[in-house]
């Protein structure tokens, strides 16, 4: 049996410094285990991850937090093993971006939505988030998910190639492992280098010193 690491987002799966640190530590532990062949990410209850902890963001003046989140996602993008999002429920905002950063994703067919809600929150993406979304989604999926804020069901997300497969809750992990099997057991250094090359534009942007500011709308006359 391959060495499998699992990480579960607790509750609504919202990210603040504590929960982001726990996710980052799980990635570190998986990388440190040379026998690890796959990292499975899953949620709890009706959620996969609801994204950023808005209560924390509103109460703090931490303007660099979203940048720190993206730096953790960069570790998913070039991990030396396949990362699989087992989308057990709602994946909103940063939670949806975790799905996009993963090598494979399987989504529960009877519950949960994939959603990038910024347009309905009167927000834009930050520079780094925008690069990730635009590098991982097709123009059709960008129009549906990003520009309209549509809450994608599992079947809709599959049609738009946002996720790789859908299935019942009980079958998701097995389906994810089957999808990841061809990538499992490869030379870690080679796989990490190839993944980094494939994702080089977004990883280099994340690792750069460029401020991760929201993209500004054009001036209107």
Q: What percent of the chain has pLDDT over 70?
A: 99
Q: Please, what's the largest Cα pairwise distance for the chain?
A: 63
215 falls within a domain: no
With respect to residue 126, please indicate whether it lies within any of the assigned structural domains.
yes
Instruction: Evaluate whether residue 220 is within a structural domain.
Output: no
Residue 30's φ and ψ, nearest 5 degrees, are: -65, -40
Q: Write out the residue range of the structural domain in which residue 167 sits.
A: 3-207
The answer to the question of residue 216 being in a domain is no
Give the pLDDT mean for 14-39: 97
User: Above 70 in pLDDT, residue 162?
Assistant: yes
The pTM of the full predicted model, rounded to 2 decimals, is 0.95
Model confidence pLDDT, tens digit, residues 118-149: 999 999 999 999 999 999 999 999 999 999 99
| Residue at 212 is within a domain | no
Beta bridge partners of 42: 8, 86
Domain tally for the chain? 1
The answer to the question of residue 194 being in a domain is yes
pLDDT over 90 (residue 98): yes
Q: Is residue 123 part of a domain?
A: yes
Residues 6 or more apart whose Cβ sits within 8 Å of residue 43: 8, 9, 13, 49, 86, 87, 88, 89, 90, 91, 95
Q: What is the pLDDT of residue 1?
A: 66
> 52 falls in which pLDDT band (50, 70, 90)?
very high
Structural domain contains residue 182? yes
Report the CATH number that the domain containing residue 145 is assigned in CATH: 3.90.226.10
SS3 content of the chain, % helix, strand, coil (to 5): 50, 20, 35
């Amino acid at each position: 049996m391959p060495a499998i690491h699992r990480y579960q987002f607790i509750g609504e799966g919202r990210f603040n410094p504590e929960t982001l640190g726990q996710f980052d530590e799980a990635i570190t532990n998986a990388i440190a285990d040379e026998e690890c062949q796959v990292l499975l990410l899953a949620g709890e209850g009706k959620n996969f991850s609801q994204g950023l902890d808005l209560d924390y963001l509103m109460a703090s003046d931490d303007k660099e937090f979203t940048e720190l989140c993206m730096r953790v996602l960069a570790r998913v993008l070039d991990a030396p093993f396949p990362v699989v999002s087992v989308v057990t429920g709602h994946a909103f905002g940063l939670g949806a971006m975790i799905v996009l950063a993963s090598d494979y994703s399987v989504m529960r067919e009877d519950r949960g939505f994939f959603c990038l809600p910024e347009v309905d929150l009167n927000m834009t993406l930050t520079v780094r988030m925008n690069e990730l979304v635009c590098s991982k989604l097709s123009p059709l999926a960008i129009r549906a998910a990003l520009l309209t804020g549509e809450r994608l069901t599992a079947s809709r997300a599959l049609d738009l190639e946002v996720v790789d497969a859908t299935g019942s809750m009980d079958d998701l992990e097995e389906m994810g492992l089957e999808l990841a099997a061809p990538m499992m057991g490869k030379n870690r250094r080679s796989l990490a280098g190839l993944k980094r090359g494939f994702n080089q534009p977004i990883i280099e942007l994340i690792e750069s010193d460029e401020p991760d500011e929201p993209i500004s709308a054009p001036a209107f006359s």
